[in-house]
Amino acid sequence: MKIIKPIIGVLATGFILMYFSELLFWAHVRPGDSWTGWLETWLAYSLLGFVFLSLVTRFKVQSIWALFLAGAAFGWLAEGLVVQTTYESLPLSISFTGLAWHASISVWVGWYAFRKAINAGFRRGLWVSAAVGLLYGLWAISWWVEPGEKITAPLDFASFSCLSTLFVMLAYWLYDRTIPGSFVPNRAAEIGVAALFLLYFVLATVPAAPLALALLPALLAMLYFALRLNRRAEEQPDLLAVRLDPLPSVWNYLSLLALPLAAAAVYTLAFWAGWRWHTNWLLYLVTTPLGFILFFISLIKIWKTRSPAAIPPS
């Protein structure tokens, strides 16, 4: 049970990150998608999720600024190692999607804000889910104007969104019962995952994008030194240290259904109204500079609290 519990928690974390990073991003079933492919993607995100959880614990991540940097590590590993989009449109691709989507949306919103909303009660979860659902519906219609994309029927979009949300509800439920107050990084597992990623980096990433050999280590080194400063300065327990008591009720998790329902309402309205909006460009124009801004704010915030002496007494 001591081994099974953290594995379940890591797999739940992986699916939460996959839901916000992949399922919400693509917003429809693509040609070539399969249950096997989704399973492989889930396992990849679970490995990344394990790294993310280890960073949160090892570097005493407690503030939202340190959390953004841990999210940046997750984002740059996903987009700069597993795939190579970080090197496609430099320098903007450093932010979108590693910072602009993964750190900001997948981690800040999906992993952090949604769990806080669920823990706060059904009403809070309902409002947060509905708000994100409205934005998700607007994002989803952007695929209608992408070259080579077909318009997904509203019923198919609603089915895809509801089914994926049911799975992520289960992932949140499992996460809350396995990770908070229980997760302890395993050194052997960390070495094994690091070796696996290093092997993939050498054999797959660098041949596909030789620039990764210089850029990705530089980006990760910045994060390492900043998070090390955070570990020295942080006096509060990390975000995984406290066990939830009491645990959220099943009713709280059901509030997440407001997300696909709100998204489907927006999507259906746009479908019947004939809207063809490039909402993806609006999101890109807003979140790409925002990702850089939040990254540098995070570095500055942690630098200002780089030692316990810099923290005012409570």
The pLDDT value recorded for residue 309 is 46
Asked if 51 contacts 73 with a C-beta cutoff of 8 angstroms, the reply is: yes
The pLDDT value recorded for residue 3 is 84
Separation between Cα atoms, residue 139 and residue 205, nearest integer Å = 29
Separation between Cα atoms, residue 89 and residue 91, nearest integer Å = 6
- Please give the backbone phi and psi of residue 7, each rounded to the nearest 5 degrees, phi first: -65, -45
Could you report the per-residue pLDDT of 251-286, keeping only the tens digit for each? 999 999 999 999 999 999 999 999 999 999 999 999
pLDDT beyond 90 at 83: yes
Separation between Cα atoms, residue 87 and residue 83, nearest integer Å = 10
The pLDDT value recorded for residue 181 is 93
What the block records as the tokens of 31 is 């040609």
Neighbours of 114 (CB within 10 A): 23
Half-sphere exposure of 87 (CA within 13 A, CB side): 19
pLDDT beyond 70 at 100: yes
Q: Predicted confidence band at 305 (pLDDT cuts at 50, 70, 90)?
A: confident
Could you report the per-residue pLDDT of 209-218, keeping only the tens digit for each? 999 999 999 9
Could you report the per-residue pLDDT of 192-202, keeping only the tens digit for each? 999 999 999 99
Could you tell me which residue, 135 or 312, shows the higher pLDDT? 135
Could you report the per-residue pLDDT of 37-74, keeping only the tens digit for each? 999 999 999 999 999 999 999 999 999 999 999 999 99
Could you tell me which residue, 169 or 245, shows the higher pLDDT? 169
Separation between Cα atoms, residue 148 and residue 154, nearest integer Å = 19
Angle at 135 between CA 260 and CA 104, to 5 degrees: 105
Separation between Cα atoms, residue 34 and residue 21, nearest integer Å = 17
What is the residue-averaged pLDDT of the chain? 94
Q: Predicted confidence band at 310 (pLDDT cuts at 50, 70, 90)?
A: very low
pLDDT, mean of residues 181-189: 92
Angle at 95 between CA 124 and CA 40, to 5 degrees: 75
The pLDDT value recorded for residue 311 is 44
Separation between Cα atoms, residue 251 and residue 136, nearest integer Å = 23
Separation between Cα atoms, residue 158 and residue 247, nearest integer Å = 30
Separation between Cα atoms, residue 34 and residue 261, nearest integer Å = 24
Residue with tokens 């997440």: 256
**Residues above pLDDT 70, as percent of the chain:** 97
Per-residue CA distances from 213 to 48, 73, 203 (Å): 19, 16, 12
pLDDT beyond 50 at 312: no
The pLDDT value recorded for residue 2 is 76
The pLDDT value recorded for residue 245 is 87
Asked if 224 contacts 194 with a C-beta cutoff of 8 angstroms, the reply is: no
Q: Predicted confidence band at 1 (pLDDT cuts at 50, 70, 90)?
A: low
CB-based contacts of 80: which residues, under 8 Å, 6+ apart? 86, 87, 98, 205, 212, 215, 216, 219
**Residues above pLDDT 90, as percent of the chain:** 92
Separation between Cα atoms, residue 216 and residue 298, nearest integer Å = 19
pLDDT beyond 70 at 314: no
pLDDT beyond 70 at 308: no
Angle at 35 between CA 2 and CA 23, to 5 degrees: 85
Produce one character per residue of 147-168: b if its CB has 16 or more CB atoms within 10 Å, e if not. Answer: eeeeebebeebbebbeebbeeb
Using a 10 angstrom Cβ sphere, with 0-12 exposed, 13-18 middle and 19 or more buried, the burial of residue 78 is buried
Q: Predicted confidence band at 306 (pLDDT cuts at 50, 70, 90)?
A: low
pLDDT beyond 80 at 307: no
